[in-house]
């Protein structure tokens, strides 16, 4: 009898466009065990091109293909960094790809990628394109992490919320009775990052320190909150298609003269409030809120979420044994394992799809 490999690599590069998070995980005997993690930052030219491809631009067919090749190199580098930690064969690399358009209302989402090149470079089976099938079944194709959040962090009889704060924010409400709901709440770090990049040339607001130095501007906050997406009922998902620089600049134009640090404080509060209100609208009073994604390293953001929830415990997923910057890559490793074992990965209650679907496509080694 041969042993089926249970080691999977998950690769996630999200809307923050900071680089590739990778984990090597072992799913033997139904457990979820992280063996190693790695991060491969995007070369600046690749990041700039992936940013440019977020919106319609000239010759984008060819430019997308070339960016996908560059992306595959970054993915392969991340795989190479993880392989020394694998004691046996790796069953597959599960790779999210880089979202450059997300238009479920038009029937498509595009995670650019070259999985064939990654299979060629790594010599390992590659599973890619996790979102398209859910959209084909009438869903949003997002968020896909709630099923994993339940498997990894759910506790029967206890209501928990897992919040992923990447470029975009999303919540998974683990009701404790087997039900899981969730959706994208709106901007996570995307506006916070672009504002500090514009004013200070830094990629992000380390620990939320700049936001903490400012004061929330109530008038600007109201203007920012006046966005139909926040009032839209679930299922819903979003991305840079909506929350981009022009969106922010149009809002700021309605409220001129706010000092840059105060804008930063207000953008941080916007992320916190939209997350907190999304949780409250789900009608649960969670035992605790666990934050993952890079936003978990922003103390101002966590403080603001806790305050908006009236003192509910807010902590990072490290409290549940998984470092916040590993959760999403681990989720895709797990989705790869689900694909390989022919188990569904979506939750129709979350995405709005017509039913459970097996997500992904295989590119054999």
Ligand X SMILES: Nc1ncnc2c1ncn2[C@@H]1O[C@H](COP(=O)(O)OP(=O)(O)O)[C@@H](O)[C@H]1O
Closest approach of Mg ion to the CB of residue 36, in Å: 17
> Given the complex with ligand X, which of 167 and 352 has the nearer CB atom?
167
Q: Which stretch binds ligand X (CB under 6 A): 26-34, 248-256, 263-271, 293-301?
A: 293-301
Q: Is 316 one of the binding residues for ligand X (CB under 6 A)? A: no
Q: What is the SS3 assignment for the chain?
A: CCCCCCEEEEEECCCCCCEEEEEEEECHHHCCEEEEEEEEECCHHHHHHHHHCCCCCCCHHHHHHHHHHHHHHHHHHHHHHHHHHCCCCEEEEEECCEEEEEEHHHCEEEEECCHHHHHHHHCCCEEECCCHHHHHCCCCCCCCCHHHHHHHHCECCECEEEEEECCEEEEEEECCCCCEEEEEEEECCHHHHHHHHHHHCCCCCHHHHHHHHCCCCHHHHHHHHCCHHHHCCCCCCCCCCCCCHHHHHHHHHCCCCCCHHHHHHHHHHHHHHHHHHHHHHCCCCCCEEEEECHHHHCHHHHHHHHHHCCCCCEEEHHHHCCCHHHHHHHHHHHHHHHHHCCCCCCCHHHHCCCCCCCCCEEECC
> Given the complex with ligand X, which of 115 and 295 has the nearer CB atom?
295
Q: Is 184 one of the binding residues for ligand X (CB under 6 A)? A: no
- CB proximity list for 249: less than 8 A, separation 6 or greater: none
Q: Is 14 one of the binding residues for ligand X (CB under 6 A)? A: yes
Q: Is 249 one of the binding residues for ligand X (CB under 6 A)? A: no
> Given the complex with ligand X, which of 91 and 265 has the nearer CB atom?
265
Instruction: Choose the one of ligand X, Mg ion, none that binds residue 286, judging by a C-beta under 5 to 8 angstroms depending on kind.
Output: none
Instruction: Of 268, 327, 272, give the one whose Cα is nearest residue 294.
Output: 327
Which one of 286, 294, 344, 360 is in contact with ligand X (CB under 6 A)? 294
Q: Is 132 one of the binding residues for ligand X (CB under 6 A)? A: no
Instruction: Choose the one of ligand X, Mg ion, none that binds residue 141, judging by a C-beta under 5 to 8 angstroms depending on kind.
Output: none
Instruction: Of 159, 184, 180, give the one whose Cα is nearest residue 285.
Output: 159
- Which residues are at the interface with Mg ion (CB under 5 A)? 14, 16, 18
Closest approach of ligand X to the CB of residue 228, in Å: 23
Which one of 132, 170, 298, 346 is in contact with ligand X (CB under 6 A)? 298
Closest approach of ligand X to the CB of residue 271, in Å: 10
Q: Is 206 one of the binding residues for ligand X (CB under 6 A)? A: yes
Closest approach of Mg ion to the CB of residue 1, in Å: 40
Closest approach of Mg ion to the CB of residue 293, in Å: 8
Q: Is 328 one of the binding residues for ligand X (CB under 6 A)? A: yes
Q: Which stretch binds ligand X (CB under 6 A): 40-48, 110-118, 135-143, 185-193?
A: 185-193
Instruction: Choose the one of ligand X, Mg ion, none that binds residue 352, judging by a C-beta under 5 to 8 angstroms depending on kind.
Output: none
Closest approach of ligand X to the CB of residue 336, in Å: 17
Q: Is 332 one of the binding residues for ligand X (CB under 6 A)? A: no
Q: Which residues bind ligand X (CB under 6 A)?
A: 14-16, 18, 21, 166-167, 189, 192-193, 204-208, 293-295, 297-298, 328
């Amino acid at each position: 009898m041969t042993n089926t490999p249970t080691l999977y690599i998950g690769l996630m590069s999200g809307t923050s466009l900071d680089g590739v998070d990778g984990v090597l995980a072992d799913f033997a005997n139904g457990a979820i065990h992280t063996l190693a993690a790695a991060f491969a930052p995007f070369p600046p030219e690749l990041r700039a091109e992936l940013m440019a491809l977020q919106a319609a631009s000239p010759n984008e067919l060819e430019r997308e293909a070339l960016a996908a090749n560059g992306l595959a190199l970054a993915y392969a580098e991340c795989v190479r960094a993880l392989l020394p930690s694998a004691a046996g064969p790796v069953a597959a690399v599960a790779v999210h790809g880089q979202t450059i358009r997300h238009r479920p209302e038009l029937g498509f989402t595009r995670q650019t990628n070259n999985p064939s090149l990654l299979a060629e470079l790594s010599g390992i089976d590659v599973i890619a394109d996790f979102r398209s099938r859910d959209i084909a079944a009438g869903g949003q194709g997002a968020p896909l992490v709630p099923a994993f959040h339940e498997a990894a962090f759910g506790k029967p009889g206890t209501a928990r919320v897992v919040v992923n704060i990447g470029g975009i924010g999303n919540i998974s409400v683990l009701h404790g009775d087997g039900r899981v709901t969730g959706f994208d709440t709106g901007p996570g770090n995307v506006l916070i990052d672009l504002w500090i990049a514009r004013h200070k040339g830094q990629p992000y607001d380390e620990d939320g320190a700049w936001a903490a130095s400012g004061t929330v501007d109530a008038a600007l906050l109201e203007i920012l909150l006046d966005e139909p997406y926040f009032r839209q009922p679930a299922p819903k998902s979003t991305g840079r298609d909506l929350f981009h620089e022009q969106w922010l600049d149009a809002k700021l134009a309605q409220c001129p003269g706010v000092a840059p640090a105060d804008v930063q404080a207000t953008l941080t509060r916007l992320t916190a409030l939209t997350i907190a209100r999304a949780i409250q609208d789900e009608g649960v009073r969670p035992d605790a809120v666990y934050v993952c994604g890079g936003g978990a390293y922003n103390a101002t953001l966590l403080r603001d979420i806790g305050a908006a929830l009236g003192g509910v415990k807010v902590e990072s997923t490290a409290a549940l044994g998984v470092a916040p910057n590993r959760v999403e890559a681990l989720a895709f490793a797990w989705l790869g394992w689900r694909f390989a074992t022919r188990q569904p990965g979506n939750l129709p209650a979350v995405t709005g799809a017509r039913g459970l679907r097996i997500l992904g496509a295989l590119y054999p080694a």
